[in-house]
Structure formats: structure tokens, C-alpha cells
Amino acid sequence: MIITQRRTYLNKICKKQGGKMKRLIILFLVAFLLLGIGMSVIASPKDTIVVGLKENVLSLDPANHRNRTSETVIRNIFDGLVTRGPDMKIVPEIAESWEWLDDLTCEFKIRKGITFHNGEALTAEDVAYTFNRIMKEGGMDGESSPRKGLLGPLESVEMTDDYTVVFKLSKPWTVLLKMLPHQQIVPKDYLEEVGSEEFRKHPIGAGPFKFVEGKLNERIVLERFEDYYGGSPDLPPVGVAPLKTVIFEILPESSTRVAALLGGGCDIIQNVPTVDVPRIEKNTNSTVKYSKGTRAYYLEMNLTKPPFDNLKVRKAINHAFDRELLIEMLYNGEGSVFAGPLFPYEGMFDTSLTPYKYNPELAKALLVEAGYPEGFSLVLDTEIDFKEPAEIVAGMLSEVGIDCTVRLWEWGVLKPLLLKGERTLLLNTWGSSILDPVGYVDAKFLTDGRGNYSKYSNSEVDEAIIEGAITVDPEKRKEIYKKMQKIIHDECFYIGWSVNDLTGTSANLINWEPIPDSRINLHDASFK
């Protein structure tokens, strides 16, 4: 009897506890379902744009980075003296006009009535301060700016009155204006008051959008600046931006960016992989926009190592590599083949040059002449990002008897070996956002240049590179670069091409076109 009573009592207690537990579990599950099911993406209002960036933003201080993505965000908060339109033409922005007083001096007149986001007026003093902060060693409260190199031989920037500044160069430098869109004007008084560290947390510029909040490698939110002066008169419409809110989301994984565009979470995404183009175009809510690439893709041969110390072998490689087919296969034909070292759509390109034609039979004959009738083996080095083009190149070379294997590297590991001249064949890219030889040929082809992986050294070319950078007359410059292009073309060690940039956008985005320098200028953008 007692046992039965105890058992009933025990069961009762346990059931009671179990019942409580059960109720809790059910409650939890119901809450889970209520929260999870019926998810509706909180619709972005029509005046909010979300941009998916491919990499971290490193800084919101225009002087404190050397990175295109950071500049993309910065140039919506800050304006420069001059800017570029989708056609890459330099047009005035904060500067009203400019005049070259002589080969070394350029005077800029500053537009009146421009205010920073804190209401302070922008004057010549801010302009001079901006450039001196970059040029001076330790100019950012003891730290040096990594953007000094982008100002070439600029010696000083001085204000002559409230709305006039004079730029002085130590030697002629023709690309000054082309380089200036990459520098944005900062407010002197505010910066001096709060210091660089605080400025980076709460940046204040004179651009179309003001900074609201954000973490550099997460999300950056900007809001329309209601007192904006209107931007460059050469890039209409002029006025306050139609969009109220701009959100930059950092999405390093490309499949995530594409999914975000397709799912409506992003309105613009950087760097669409070619494989995803059909998916995006099939979707009625999204589309892909193309702009001319400003990165040179290249196959570069080390001239100090056999077999590439032999011109015939180098020529054979040029004839064995079908760049048009590669562009067709990998990038749906969205790209251009180089004849010589320069982009065929830049001003200094020598139009009389033609690319080496694909001709495997000629390539084989050249290899025989060079003493390699049986071909040879070699390793093609590249980064993981260029695995596909490298494999296609290896396949093409194997057709003429060259046994080519692709080796994928992490760039930080490969670069020191390349600079020491220890590798043979490389596939990689080099950026030239201003589409001018300066900053590109001096890095790639000057003796001991920063990116001269072929170990190329030619006094005539060196001379042309140095001369070309300081020659002011465009026709003379063209002549100088023409000579350089011909020599490099004939030496056959550099096979270049470019690939158009692919940007994914929402189908109802209007008044926005990608610019070749990868900037995403949202001043004019709006939605249908």
C-alpha cells in the first residue's frame, strides 16, 4: 500500500516537472516558428540604396589608405578639386577652374559657397591643408600618409587668397590633373580640433552624402547632405542627391553578393563573377553593367631565365596564346587584347601597333628554330583568383608542345620570389586607374620597377618612361611613348589584355553608370 502510494506520488511530482518542461519546450518551439516563419525582408524604402562591396573599407580618412574600395566610399562623403565622368574625362568639382601658369605651376580657383557637413565654409585654406597633410612626413598627427606617392613631384600647395591655391611641382608632371580625383578635400578646422583619430570615426567632408554610422569592415551608412553645393556642373544633374540613405555592406564572398542582389538585399554589387552573369540577367529584377577595365592582365616572362632569354621562344608564346578566345571563353567576350604594353583605349596608345596573331603552326616553327623541337616544360605562376585564365593559357601552350603546369600561390609568398627573379612565367594584373602610362609603365617596365617581374632593363625604355612623365605637350608625349611601346612590343616578353568590370545592379536603378576607375558615385542615382 505504502509502496503504491509512494509510486503514485513520485510519478505525480515527476509528471508535474515533466509537464512544466514540456510546456517550456512547446513555448520555445512556437516562439521559434513565429519568429522564423513568415519572414518578410524589411523592404528598403525607394530612397535607400544598398551597395555590396567586395572587400573591407580600411579607413574613412581620405589620406589614410591606398585602396580602391575605401576610396569608393570616401568619394561619396568627400569631393575633390576635380573629378571624372563615366567617360574618364577630367572635369572641375570643388575647383571652379584651373590654369597652368608654367610647366611647374598650376593655379586653381575654388568654387564659392561650398560648405562641409558641419556647416563650415570650404576655402583655399582647407585645400592647402589637405595636400600638405599628405605630403608632410608624419602629417597625420605623427603618422605618414600612404598616398604621398600618388602626388608625384608635387612640392607645395599654397593659398594665395581665400579662393585660390597654387600647386608647385619640382619637375613637370603631366598627370597632375588625372591624379587629383584621387585626393579629397578635408576640413582643416575640424581636423585640427578633433585630431586624425576622431576624424576617422566621424569623418566630415563636402560631398553629397554625410557619414551617419558604421564599422569599417561591416557596414557604413551615409545620409543625404541637404546643403550640398550640387557637384560638378559638367556632370548633370546638379543639385542635392535624390537618394536619402546610402548603405555600404562589406560582402567579401562573391556568391553571397550575387545572392544578395538576386534576393533584393543589395541594389549594386561589385565584381560579378562571369559564371553568375546569366543568372543575374535571367532574373527580372537585376542586370549586369559593364565598364572598361583599368587593370592590365598580363602573361609576363622572366628575361633572365631560359628559355625566355631567347626572343624566338618569347615570340612563339605570343603566337601560341589566343587571347581573344580566352576573353570569349571566360568573360563572354567582355575584354580587350593589347598590342604592346598599353591599354588600347587610353590616350597614349600607339594605334599603328597590332597584337601578335594566334598562329600555333608559326609558334611551333619558332620553337624549332630556337632549338626546342620537342618543346619544354615550365611552371606558370599565378594567384588563386586567376586560376581559370592560367589553366586556359597552360592548355594553349601545351598545344604547341610546351608542357605547362599551373602553380597557385598566395601573393605575399610569390612576390618576393618574383622580385628576386626566381620564377619563369607569371600571370597577374596591374592597376592603372587613371588610364595613363604614369603609375603603370614606371612600375612594370622601368629597370627595378616595383612590379617589374620580367627583370626587364632597357636604357631607351627607361629614358622614355622618365621623359614621358615630365613632358607636358601631349603630342610630344605620344611620340615618346610610341617608341617605348614599339620596343616592348618587339621584345615579346609581356602579353597583355584587359577585362571589363562587371557590376550587378537592381533593374530599377536609374541614372547610374559604372566608371572605369571603379568608383561608385551615387550622387545622381535614384530608383524608377
Site for another protein in 367-426 (CB under 8 A): 410-413, 415-417
Q: With binding defined as CB under 8 A, does residue 210 bind another protein?
A: no
Please report, to the nearest 10 degrees, the dihedral formed by the alpha carbons of residues 240, 242, 245, 249 taken in order. Answer: -110
CA distance 323 to 337: 7
- Rule CB under 8 A: which of 314-343 touch another protein? none
Q: With binding defined as CB under 8 A, does residue 302 bind another protein?
A: no
For residue 458, the 8-state DSSP code is: -
Reduced 3-state DSSP string for 343-363: CCCCCCCCCCCCCCCCCHHHH
User: 271: alpha, beta or left, given left = phi > 0 and alpha = psi -120 to 50?
Assistant: left
Q: With binding defined as CB under 8 A, does residue 1 bind another protein?
A: no
Q: With binding defined as CB under 8 A, does residue 457 bind another protein?
A: no
Binding residue (CB under 8 A) for another protein from 76, 232, 291, 429: 429
Q: With binding defined as CB under 8 A, does residue 35 bind another protein?
A: yes
Binding residue (CB under 8 A) for another protein from 439, 468, 496, 504: 439
Q: Is the dihedral of CA 130, 136, 138, 141 positive or negative?
A: negative
In the bound state with another protein, the residue whose beta carbon lies nearer, of 150 and 186, is 150
Task: Draw the binding track, 216-245, toward another protein (x: CB under 8 A; -: no contact).
Answer: xxxx-x-----------------------x
In the bound state with another protein, the residue whose beta carbon lies nearer, of 48 and 115, is 48
- Rule CB under 8 A: which of 133-152 touch another protein? 137, 143-144, 146, 148-150
CA distance 498 to 192: 43
Q: With binding defined as CB under 8 A, does residue 33 bind another protein?
A: no
In the bound state with another protein, the residue whose beta carbon lies nearer, of 124 and 191, is 191
In the bound state with another protein, the residue whose beta carbon lies nearer, of 288 and 402, is 288
User: Total residues contacting another protein (rule CB under 8 A)?
Assistant: 76
Q: With binding defined as CB under 8 A, does residue 30 bind another protein?
A: no
Binding residue (CB under 8 A) for another protein from 54, 62, 68, 461: 68
b/e per residue, 480-511, with b = 16+ CB within 10 A?
bbbbbbebbbebbbbbbbbbbbbbbbbeebee
Q: With binding defined as CB under 8 A, does residue 84 bind another protein?
A: no
In the bound state with another protein, the residue whose beta carbon lies nearer, of 231 and 437, is 437
- Please answer whether residues 69 and 195 qualify as being in contact, where contact means their C-beta atoms are separated by less than 8 angstroms: no
Cell numbers for 391, please give them.
589553366
Reduced 3-state DSSP string for 396-416: HHHCCCCEEEEEEECHHHHHH
Q: With binding defined as CB under 8 A, does residue 56 bind another protein?
A: yes
Binding residue (CB under 8 A) for another protein from 10, 27, 275, 510: 10
Residue with cell 535607400: 48
Q: Is the dihedral of CA 99, 101, 107, 112 positive or negative?
A: negative
Min. distance of Cβ 147 from another protein in angstroms? Answer: 9
Binding residue (CB under 8 A) for another protein from 76, 174, 428, 471: 428
Interstrand relation of 425-431 and 377-383 (parallel, antiparallel or unpaired): parallel
In the bound state with another protein, the residue whose beta carbon lies nearer, of 221 and 365, is 221
Q: With binding defined as CB under 8 A, does residue 42 bind another protein?
A: yes
Binding residue (CB under 8 A) for another protein from 336, 433, 500, 521: 433
- Rule CB under 8 A: which of 469-528 touch another protein? none
CB half-sphere exposure, 26, CA atoms < 13 A: 6
Q: DSSP readout, 257-291?
A: HHHHHHTTS-SEES---GGGHHHHHHSTTEEEEEE
Q: With binding defined as CB under 8 A, does residue 172 bind another protein?
A: no
Min. distance of Cβ 257 from another protein in angstroms? Answer: 8
In the bound state with another protein, the residue whose beta carbon lies nearer, of 21 and 101, is 21
Interface stretch with another protein, choices 203-211, 236-244, 359-367, 448-456 (CB under 8 A): 448-456
Residue type at position 57? V
Min. distance of Cβ 455 from another protein in angstroms? Answer: 17
Interface stretch with another protein, choices 10-18, 203-211, 314-322, 369-377 (CB under 8 A): 10-18
Q: With binding defined as CB under 8 A, does residue 181 bind another protein?
A: no
Q: With binding defined as CB under 8 A, does residue 270 bind another protein?
A: no
CA distance 280 to 262: 7
Min. distance of Cβ 83 from another protein in angstroms? Answer: 18
Q: With binding defined as CB under 8 A, does residue 259 bind another protein?
A: yes
In the bound state with another protein, the residue whose beta carbon lies nearer, of 258 and 363, is 258
Report H helices in 43-113. 68-77
Min. distance of Cβ 408 from another protein in angstroms? Answer: 14
CA distance 355 to 338: 6
Distances in whole angstroms, Cα of residue 495 to Cα of each of 360, 476, 498? 16, 26, 11
In the bound state with another protein, the residue whose beta carbon lies nearer, of 17 and 105, is 17
Interstrand relation of 219-224 and 48-53 (parallel, antiparallel or unpaired): unpaired
- Please answer whether residues 205 and 77 qualify as being in contact, where contact means their C-beta atoms are separated by less than 8 angstroms: yes
Q: With binding defined as CB under 8 A, does residue 251 bind another protein?
A: yes
Q: Which helix (H) or strand (E) holds 23?
A: helix 2-36
In the bound state with another protein, the residue whose beta carbon lies nearer, of 200 and 312, is 200
- Rule CB under 8 A: which of 278-297 touch another protein? 295
Q: With binding defined as CB under 8 A, does residue 72 bind another protein?
A: no
- Rule CB under 8 A: which of 106-125 touch another protein? none
Name all contacts of 405-408 with Cβ < 8 Å and 24+ positions apart: 405/377, 405/378, 405/379, 405/380, 406/379, 406/380, 406/382, 407/379, 407/380, 407/381, 407/382, 408/382, 408/383, 408/384
- Rule CB under 8 A: which of 150-169 touch another protein? 150
Distances in whole angstroms, Cα of residue 229 to Cα of each of 114, 126, 206, 241, 443? 6, 16, 8, 10, 38
Q: With binding defined as CB under 8 A, does residue 299 bind another protein?
A: no
CA distance 400 to 402: 6
